[in-house]
Amino acid sequence: MSDTPLLKIEGLTKAYPGVVANDDVSFQIMPGEVHSLLGENGAGKSTLVKMIYGLVRPDSGSMSFKGAPFTPSEPRAARASGVAMVFQHFSLFEALNVAENIALGMENPPKQAALAARIREVSEAYGLPLDPDRLVGDLSAGERQRVEIIRCLLQDPKLLIMDEPTSVLTPQEVEILFHTLRKLSEEGTAILYISHKLEEIRAICDEATILRLGKVVGTCTPRETSAAEMAELMVGKSLAKPGRSDVTHGEVVLKVSGLSVEPASPFGTPLRHIGIELRKGEVLGIGGVAGNGQDELLAALSGEATTAPGSVTLEGEKIGALGPNERRARGLLCAPEERLGHAAAPDMSLTENALLTARGRKGLARSGFINWGKTRSYAEEIIRDFDVRTPGPENAARSLSGGNLQKFVTGREVLQGPTVLVVNQPTWGVDASAAADIRQALLNLAQEGAGVIVISQDLDELLEVSDNFAALNEGRLSNVRATSGLTMETIGLMLGGAHDMHEADKEALHAGA
């Protein structure tokens, strides 16, 4: 490793009004190296990567690429130099096929037939199976990511940047991706890998640079460092692992049987014969890759989508045909995945957002007239009890960071004392310490005797909090298994759709409980 680094960054600084996103950041990447950027949300990873990709200009500092000064003024210039990037959020058109989507991102796209042949060639060479003629709307999240990766590989990049690439993948798909990345690395392509999943970084990365509050706080060789050590470097303090003292399950409190729902939109997922039995004190984790019916399941439980009365039963009462507020009144509360626009109204204040779901249970309105004083105190209670960082309840929801808003939304439901709480992606995009707080709150709720359903794509989270586990695949729910003793391989098979287990003996559902 004595030759010149592929990318060398020295003293990069970028300030935004009120915050220094990157402060004197330096590191380097050798050809063929898999380098990880580690840090919590808001640590400055995105800004740094955007500067390398030409989306943001640094205030000061310098970059060199293959020994020559590197100042990309726009992504096109960065791509021309050999830098490619796979974003966390895909920019694909669902109504076009794979080859058409890839052609759209190219400067001089070849003819469709030639391009399709190239796509097949590259996808086989790197072990990323992909049919160029399929519509993107029909692809899974993992396959969509392959489209983005192949789009990059066609440019023959020297440096490939990947932003949180595994958040939408099953364990098996992660293996395929890692296989591809290792092959690229052997061929001399450097990879800048952004993630906060420490075990993955230990599995694939050669070097890691750790950022905290915009500064480089350390570097390490992930293979030789434990996940706990890296987490401490990232957060700056040691984290308590969420847990609870004893696990006892009471009688069945929520029963879902034969729940089938047609999707509201053409690209939605229909739910098919979902069956769930949730007991008091139980935390049921529902895993699954994005777009397999998570939103639809939450809507069917929250009452946004109504069904036959008998398909959802709460404490013996048939509630399938009731709307959201009637279900809340009976103790079934939900916190959807999308914080801004679904769980909370972005432009409304936190006080107004407290009213959104707590009106009935907290008695915040009498004969239709809102008691703003009481609503405000409830918002303050949530802010205090859940350590929401905000100047006060009069601030708009959109002014809060993702983690703080998630704490507010979770707190709003938890403090209403639900009989059953359903959360979807409770810690998505939330920094590690806030995530730990939220998980602890869910466990405390179960400890007090509530039934909790956690729908999540983060398997580590599910294994940490849930007693029982089921997987959602193409709108079908797998058999429920006790979490203890589950291997990643079993989970992967469940996520991939082991439908044969579906008709299994219903009595076995809670065998592990």
Partner 1 sequence: MLVLEKRPQPSKGWIAATPVLAVVLTMIAGGLMFAALGKNPVEAIRIIFWDPLFNAQFASYARPQLLVKAAPLILIAIGLALGFRAGIWNIGAEGQYIMGALAGAAFGLYFYPTENPLVFPGMIIAGAAGGWAWAMIPAILKTRFRTNEILVSLLLVYVAEKLLASAATGWLRNPDGRGFPGSRNLSQIEAMNNPELIANTGMHWGVVAAFIAVIMAYILLNRHILGYQIKLAGQAPRAARFAGVRPTRLIVLCLGTSGALAGLAGVFEVTGPAGQISIDFNVGYGFTAIIVAFLGRLHPVGILLAGLLMALTYIGGELAQLMLTIPAPAIQAFQGMLLFFLLAVDVLSNYRIRLKREGLA
Q: How far is the CB of 347 from partner 1 (least distance, A)?
A: 5
> Which segment (98-106, 342-350, 414-422, 471-479) binds partner 1 by CB under 8 A?
342-350
Choose one: 43-51, 143-151, 311-319, 351-359; the region binding partner 1 (CB under 8 A). 351-359
Check: CB of residue 453 under 8 Å from CB of residue 273: no
Interface residue with partner 1, options 346, 417, 496, 512 (CB under 8 A): 346
b/e code 62-75 from CB counts within 10 Å (16+ = b): ebbbeeeebebeee
Handedness of CA 491, 493, 497, 498 (dihedral sign): negative
Give the span between the Cα atoms of 423 and 179, in whole angstroms: 33
The reply on whether position 373 binds partner 1 by CB under 8 A is no
The residue type at 259? L
Q: Compose the 302-321 pattern: x for residues touching partner 1 by CB under 8 A, - for all others.
A: xxx-----------------
How near is the Cβ of 124 to partner 1 at its closest, in Å? 38
Q: What track of x and - describes contact with partner 1 for positions 263 through 292 (by CB under 8 A)?
A: ------------------------------
Minimum CB distance to partner 1 smaller for 212 or for 328:
328
Instruction: State the minimum distance, in angstroms, from the CB of residue 340 to partner 1.
Output: 8
**Which long-range contacts link 445-448 to residues 24+ away (Cβ below 8 Å)?**
445/414, 445/418, 445/421, 446/244, 446/281, 446/282, 446/283, 447/244, 447/245, 447/246, 447/281
Q: Which amino acid is at 159?
A: L
Note whether 329 and 335 are within 8 A (CB).
no
Does position 57 bind partner 1 by CB under 8 A?
yes
CB-wise, 232 or 304, nearer to partner 1? 304
Residue 356 contacts partner 1 per CB under 8 A: yes
Which of helix, strand or coil describes residue 13?
strand
374 binds partner 1 (CB under 8 A): no
Element (H, E) at 8: strand 7-16
Using CA atoms, how far apart are residues 55 and 65, in angstroms rounded to an integer?
A: 17
* Residue 364: other Cβ atoms inside 10 A: 20
From 29-37, 392-400, 438-446, 489-497, span contacting partner 1 (CB under 8 A) = 392-400
Asked whether position 15 contacts partner 1 by CB under 8 A, the answer is no
Q: Is the dihedral of CA 164, 165, 166, 170 positive or negative?
A: positive
355 contributes a contact to partner 1 by CB under 8 A = yes
CA Rg value for the chain:
24
CA–CA dist 109, 132 (Å, integer): 14
Q: Does 338 bind partner 1 (CB under 8 A)?
A: yes
Task: From 145-153, 169-177, 356-364, 477-485, give the range in contact with partner 1 by CB under 8 A.
Answer: 356-364
- DSSP for 105-171, please give it: T-SS---HHHHHHHHHHHHHHTT----TTSBGGGS-HHHHHHHHHHHHHTT--SEEEEESTTTT--H
Q: Which stretch binds partner 1 (CB under 8 A): 171-179, 239-247, 330-338, 454-462?
A: 330-338
Report helix, strand and coil shares of the chain as percent, to nearest 5: 35, 25, 40
Residues in contact with partner 1, shown as a per-residue x/- string from 396 to 435 under the rule CB under 8 A? x-xx------------------------------------
- Residue 344 touching partner 1 (CB under 8 A): yes
Stretch that binds partner 1, among 175-183, 368-376, 445-453, 478-486 (CB under 8 A): 368-376
Give the per-residue contact string, 446-485, with partner 1 (x = CB under 8 A; - = no).
----------------------------------------
- Quick one: 304 exposed, middle or buried, by C-beta within 10 A (0-12, 13-18, 19+)? middle
Does residue 153 bind partner 1 (CB under 8 A)?
A: no
Piece of 201-209, 363-371, 438-446, 469-477 that binds partner 1 (CB under 8 A): 363-371
Residues that bind partner 1 in the complex, under the rule CB under 8 A: 17, 57, 73-74, 302-304, 323-326, 328, 334, 336, 338, 341-348, 352, 355-357, 359, 365, 368-370, 372, 395-396, 398-399
